[in-house]
């Protein structure tokens, strides 16, 4: 009976691979392309994000930077000096690409902006104090509104 060799195991996420992935993600905001550049499958980067809170925070920061760069690039192109051609087909294609890019960014912005703070540790006592302060402020506003509505006699 012939023995089969086990497939060679791919090395895991080394510090260097993580650095390549995060740098590319900060440049492109493209997870799959960034994983390829790091020489790793995209599925493994998602698994690493679940497993490592530190990596999750680094991912959030890199992705936010990538989206900011992408947005700046699209805005620059959309508001720039304009294309070198007057061909209506080229102008329509460029305008559609800019609208699509900005629309996609707008859809992802809340998720990206919400990622970084959620990944950081929050002190429960500070959070409770902030909530109580906001509630007290709401009560003050409600009382002020009541006194404004009360009949003046």
Q: CA torsion sign, 70 to 27 to 104 to 115?
A: negative
Residues ≥6 apart with Cβ < 8 Å to 94: 77, 83
- Quick one: pLDDT band at residue 17, thresholds 50, 70, 90? very high
How do residues 46-61 score in pLDDT, each as one tens digit?
999 999 999 999 998 8
pTM for this entry = 0.56
As a whole number of angstroms, the distance between CA 39 and CA 35 comes to 6
- Residue 152, pLDDT score: 57
Q: Which of 108, 127, 114, 121 is nearest to 54 (CA)?
A: 121
Query: What's the whole-number mean pLDDT along residues 128-137?
Result: 81
- Residue 103, pLDDT score: 73
Count of alpha carbons within 13 Å of 126, Cβ hemisphere only?
A: 3
Residue 79 has pLDDT above 80, yes or no: no
Look at the block and give the residue holding tokens 């900060």: 26
């Amino acid at each position: 009976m012939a023995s089969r060799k086990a497939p060679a195991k791919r090395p895991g996420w080394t510090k260097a691979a993580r650095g390549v992935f995060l740098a590319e993600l900060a440049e492109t905001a493209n997870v799959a392309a960034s994983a390829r550049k790091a020489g790793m499958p995209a599925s493994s980067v998602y698994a690493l994000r679940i497993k490592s809170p530190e990596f999750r925070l680094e991912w959030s920061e890199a992705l936010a930077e990538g989206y900011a760069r992408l947005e700046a690039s699209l805005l620059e192109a959309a508001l720039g000096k304009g294309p070198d051609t007057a061909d209506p087909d080229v102008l329509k294609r460029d305008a559609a690409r800019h609208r699509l890019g900005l629309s996609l960014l707008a859809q992802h912005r809340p998720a990206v902006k919400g990622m970084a703070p959620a990944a950081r540790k929050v002190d429960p006592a500070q959070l409770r104090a902030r909530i109580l302060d906001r509630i007290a402020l709401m009560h003050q506003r409600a009382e002020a509104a009541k006194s404004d509505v009360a009949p003046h006699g």
